[in-house]
Amino acid sequence: KLPILSPLDEDGKFTEDAGWLRGKGAKEANKLVLEKLKERNVLFKETTLTHSYPCCWRCDEELIYRTGEEWFISSDEIKPKLIEEIEKVIFYPEWTKKSMLDWLRNLKDWNISRKRYYGLPLPFWVCGCGQLEVMGSKKELKKKAVKGFNQLKELHRPWIDNVVLKCKKCGKEMKRIEETGDCWLDAGVVFFSTLNYFDNKRYWNKWFPADFITEMHEQVRLWFYATLFVSVAIEGRTPYKSVLAHGMVLDEKFKEMHKSTGNVIWAEEALEKMGADVMRWMYCKQNPGQPMPFGYTPAKEVRRILNILFNTVKFLQTYAEANDFKPTKPKKLDISSKWLFSRVQILKQEVTKNLEELKPHLAANKLEEFFLNDLSRWYGHIIREDIKPGIKSKNKQSMLYTFYSVSLDTLKLLSVFTPFVTEDLYQNFFKKFEKQESIHFSDWPKVEKKLINKKLEEEMDLVKKIVETSNAVRHEKGIKLKY
């Protein structure tokens, strides 16, 4: 086993282990070494190579790798249990689970310390005799402190560094180590710190483990791993049942966002300019397994689509109020209404299944396809003449009831994606007919299988094709749709 050499100090200067280079900076030494080799006539070749080099992500200063003493949590003993528990978790995309398992199978000891001033202070007190004390709570620290606790403003540096313990082995003073903790160690305890693990175990048991978590796929080796490690170490089980991992958010030209390149879009600015629901819908429709472009240009198209939804409901509201409509179920449905009720049952089935399988992009795109084409452009066009005020039509109540019921179910399905638009539409029209104060208090729409009519849907598909073909011919011949 080779000895570990670390001839650089924390200032990037060589120590006495480097002999004649002692006190010289690492970069300064490059030139000195070359001169020494030339002086001894042993320099074989001097050349310059262009290669990638690590730099500080904040200031772009060139970095130097240096070996130092750190604190670790051993992983060998817990590794098999981590793998066993993660096998129980549902992941989407599926390849994310493979990445997680690969990470766990090749797991090394967890380096939990950082040579930083600010951050989570590690609660380790050491004595010159080698004795180590780990504090488990502020209460324990207060009990064992012999100096500095009464001046402790908060559990961070510099105040925490002034707290002194008495070594139970030799009686001398024990001081806290200078290192702060890995931020993922702090993030890893979130399921315990936020759910009152130590204060209200009953409450904690109610919410643990989490049904669902979501983050960028890079969190496989960061937050997903950290929370799993801590949970298995403390409770012996996974802290979550399902994970949705999404791709990196890029600008609309598929380039990474950086302040230095000037292409960053800040959330506050985007929320103000495009609106929260436009932003949410733009995200939700994208495949989480792929990089996710984001920008104001695609937001315009998303806004246009949501405006169609808004206008469709306003169209319903206008004609419902003009006809003094009440949502009373008719004794008999017309053929077009039977078709729409069948279509929305299939939609409810598919959206529910997609969401349960952690595929929100499929659910969102099916919802959009439905309210754009089936509800607005097709059904809305079919019933327009029948529901006009003053027109006596035997199908008017059937059509208005269907339009109302299906629109409401559609908004309920959409509410988990676009909470503000759907709530606005609910409050301004549907609420006066419904029991719930908010659409978000409504039950998830149930599938009424008896309303599914596959044969009717196939026949309507044929009608659609005939209409589309005839419209294409009219366009080709220059005949307007309205004349």
pLDDT tens sequence across 360-418: 999 999 999 999 999 999 999 999 988 998 888 889 899 999 999 999 999 999 999 99
Whether residues 433 and 337 fall in one domain:
yes
Whether residues 174 and 321 fall in one domain:
no
Whether residues 330 and 451 fall in one domain:
yes
Number of neighbouring beta carbons within 10 Å of residue 20: 10
- Has residue 208 got a pLDDT over 50? yes
Peptide bond into 209 cis (omega under 30): yes
Characterize the bridge pairing of strands 145-147 and 132-134: unpaired
Q: What is the pTM of this model?
A: 0.83
In the predicted model, what is the mean pLDDT of residues 449-470? 91
In the predicted model, what is the mean pLDDT of residues 287-302? 90
CA 15 from centroid of its chain's CA atoms? 46
Q: Nearest-CA neighbor of 93 among 208, 6, 265, 216?
A: 216
Mean pLDDT of the chain: 93
In a domain, 241, yes or no: no
Whether residues 57 and 122 fall in one domain:
no
- Has residue 483 got a pLDDT over 60? no
Whether residues 323 and 177 fall in one domain:
no
Whether residues 161 and 44 fall in one domain:
no
Whether residues 135 and 60 fall in one domain:
no
Last residue of a domain, one of 41, 68, 95: 68
- CA 333, 334, 337, 338 torsion: positive or negative? positive
In a domain, 170, yes or no: yes
Whether residues 321 and 470 fall in one domain:
yes
Adjacent-strand bridge partners of 154:
none
Contacts of 35 (CB under 8 A, 6+ apart): none
Adjacent-strand bridge partners of 213:
243
In a domain, 97, yes or no: no
In a domain, 98, yes or no: no
Helical (H) or strand (E) element with 146: strand 145-147
Phi, psi dihedrals of residue 403, rounded to the nearest 5°: -60, -45
Whether residues 411 and 326 fall in one domain:
yes
Adjacent-strand bridge partners of 92:
244
In a domain, 389, yes or no: yes
Last residue of a domain, one of 165, 181, 197: 181
Q: What type of residue sits at position 255?
A: K
Whether residues 28 and 153 fall in one domain:
no
Please write down the long-range contacts of 44-51, taking CB distance under 8 Å and 24 or more positions apart.
none
How many domains, the chain?
3
Q: Nearest-CA neighbor of 447 among 412, 482, 398, 483?
A: 412
In the predicted model, what is the mean pLDDT of residues 65-91? 94
For residue 60, give its domain range. Answer: 1-68
Whether residues 168 and 47 fall in one domain:
no
Residues 401, 403, 406: CA angle, nearest 5 degrees: 100
CA 266 from centroid of its chain's CA atoms? 17
- Has residue 9 got a pLDDT over 50? yes
Regarding predicted confidence, which is higher, 1 or 178?
A: 178
What CA–CA distance (Å, rounded) separates 425 from 266?
28
Whether residues 470 and 352 fall in one domain:
yes
Q: Counting beta carbons within 10 angstroms of the beta carbon of residue 477, is it exposed (0 to 12), middle (13 to 18) or buried (19 or more)? A: exposed
In a domain, 88, yes or no: no
Asked if 92 contacts 290 with a C-beta cutoff of 8 angstroms, the reply is no
| pLDDT at residue 482, as a whole number | 65
